[in-house]
Amino acid sequence: MKKLLLFSLLLASTFIALAQKSDTTLTKSSGVNGNNELKLNLVYTIAGFPELNYERIIKDDMSVGVAVLVGIEKNAEYSFGVIPNYRVYFGGKKANGFFIEANAAVISNRQDYYDYEFLAYTSFPAGYQPYVAPIDKTYTNFGLGAAAGAKFLTKNGFVGEIFLGVGRLFGSNSIDAYSRSGITIGKRF
């Protein structure tokens, strides 16, 4: 009887040990099981300030990353931005499916303004209409935000994302918020 009880206990512990979920971030493989992703935000690229994202998977259901965007046109909304983020995934696969994101941002934006103050202290000939040229000024602000979205992964390790969010900028210029949205494509390695 003791041998039967001992054998049953040993058999039950084997099933319990095999039923535990393992963390796949510990494996050293590439492709679908890789822990790094490099992505390009297509929406921001079309808008004139391309955004490149790097993401590091730290557990099967969470990751940290950073997005860098640069304004390539003079009239782009942002001239430069760095947005570190933290994501939590709710899908059944490694860093895949629905996610929520918390982010912080350091964003520089350009604004044109007109300095009319010098006109009050300058005398002009009668009938002369002075031209006031716009002055280009760059402001840098810090902000906090959130986003939600979904990530899709192919068998080859190609990644596609769609996400939408917003953040609040803290500073003394006219832009109070920043958009955290996009459609990205990239590769997991």
Q: Where do the structural domains in the chain lie, given as residue ranges?
A: 27-110+138-188
pLDDT score recorded for residue 33: 81
pLDDT score recorded for residue 16: 59
CA dist 94 to 23, 44, 57, 91, 109, Å?
9, 27, 9, 8, 36
> What's the CA gap between 91 and 93, in Å, rounded?
6
Element (H or E) spanning 39, and its range?
strand 36-41
pLDDT score recorded for residue 23: 57
Report domain 27-110+138-188's class.
Answer: mainly beta
pTM of the model: 0.74
Query: Which two tokens mark 175?
Result: 């832009």
Query: Which two tokens mark 1?
Result: 């009887």
pLDDT score recorded for residue 1: 61
Q: Is there a contact between 169 and 141 (Cβ–Cβ < 8 Å)?
A: yes
> What's the CA gap between 134 and 132, in Å, rounded?
7
Q: Is there a contact between 185 and 42 (Cβ–Cβ < 8 Å)?
A: yes
pLDDT tens digits, one per residue of 61-86: 999 999 999 988 877 777 899 999 99
Q: Which residues does the chain have with pLDDT short of 70? A: 1-31, 112-134, 172-174
